[in-house]
Amino acid sequence: MKKHLEEEITSEELASLVGYSPYHFSRVFKGITGISPRHYLSALRIEAGKKILVDASSSSILKTLLLIGFRSIGTFSTKFKQFVGLSPKQFQLRTDDLHQFINHFERQDKLEAIKLTPPVISCHLEFPKGFKGLIFIGLFPRPIPDQRPVAGTAITHNQTNCVFSAVPLGTYYVLAAALPLSFHPKDYFLLDKSLRGKSDHVIEVTERTEAEVKIRLRDPLPYDPPILINLPQLLFEKEKNKANLKKFFIIFLLN
C-alpha cells in the first residue's frame, strides 16, 4: 500500500499477494490493524498528504496529491478535514503557532484536581526513561486516531496517570501517543515515528463503569494505523475552552 498509493488498490489484489480469499484477507487484516484495508489505505494517503502540506518546498501540491491517489483537490480536502480535524489550508497555516503553543504548554507541570463523576476510566502510562514531552491520551470509537476523541487530555513526562470522568456511554479504545519536545514543527504533526500505545481490550462504558487501564508506550510497528488527528489543535481548543469558561465564571461572579 505504502509503495503504490497512486494506484487503484483493491482488497482482491492485496489478498492475491498473500494467497488468501478477499474475505479471509479482510478479516485477518482488520484483526491485526483494527480497521478495514480500504480505511487503512485512505489513512495512509491522508498521512502522505500531511507530509506534503508541511513541506514548504512542495512546488505543486495538486500534482503531488495526484501521486498519492487523490483525483481532485475537493476529494482530498473533504477526507483531510474528516480525518485530521482541519482543512488542508488551516493545517498549513497553523503549524508554526501550534508548535509554539505545545512548547509553551510542555513546561506546565501542574496536575489539576478532578471531581470524579461516573463513569470513570483511570489510565496509567508507562514510557521509556528519558522521554521528555507531552503524552496525548484519548477515548476513540475505533482503534485508529482519525477523528476527535469522545474524551481526551495531555500530560507531561512528569506525570504517569490521568482520569476521564463522566465518560459518555459507549464502546471505546484508549489510545495514546507521545510527542517529544522538539524545535522542529514537523515533529508535532508527522507522527509516523512517535511512541504510541493502546488499551489491551475495548472498553464497554456503562453507567457504573470504573475501569483502570495500563498503557505501555512503544515504538511504532509496521502495521500500526497512522495517527491522523491534529493533536496540538485538539489541546489548543481544550485549553481555549477552559479559559473561556473561567472568564465566564469571573464575569458571572462580578455581576
Q: Sketch the domain layout of the chain as residue ranges.
A: 11-84, 102-239
Q: What is the mean pLDDT of each run of 10 residues along the chain (255 residues)?
A: 90 94 95 93 93 74 78 88 92 90 68 74 94 94 93 92 94 96 91 93 94 95 94 90 53 48
Residue-level pLDDT at 244 = 52
**Cα separations in angstroms, 181 against 97, 133, 134, 188:** 15, 5, 7, 9
Grid cell at residue 40: 487503512
H/E run at residue 199: none
Beta strand 133-140 with 196-198 is: unpaired
Residue-level pLDDT at 104 = 83
Residue-level pLDDT at 253 = 47
Query: CB atoms < 10 A from the CB of 124, how many?
Result: 12
Residue-level pLDDT at 111 = 46
Rg (CA), the chain: 20
H/E run at residue 179: strand 170-180
**CA 35 to CA 129: how far, in whole Å?**
31
CATH superfamily for 11-84 is Homeodomain-like (1.10.10.60)
Q: At a CB cut-off of 8 Å and minimum separation 6, what does 188 contact? A: 95, 98, 99, 102, 179, 182, 231, 232
Q: Where are the alpha helices (DSSP H) in 55-72?
A: 61-67
Q: Where are the alpha helices (DSSP H) in 85-213?
A: 88-105
CATH superfamily for 102-239 is Immunoglobulins (2.60.40.10)
Residue-level pLDDT at 97 = 92
Residue-level pLDDT at 60 = 65
Residue-level pLDDT at 72 = 83
Domains 11-84 and 102-239 share a fold: no
**CA 137 to CA 238: how far, in whole Å?**
13
pTM beyond cutoff 0.95: no
Grid cell at residue 144: 485508529
Amino acid at 206: T
Grid cell at residue 62: 495538486
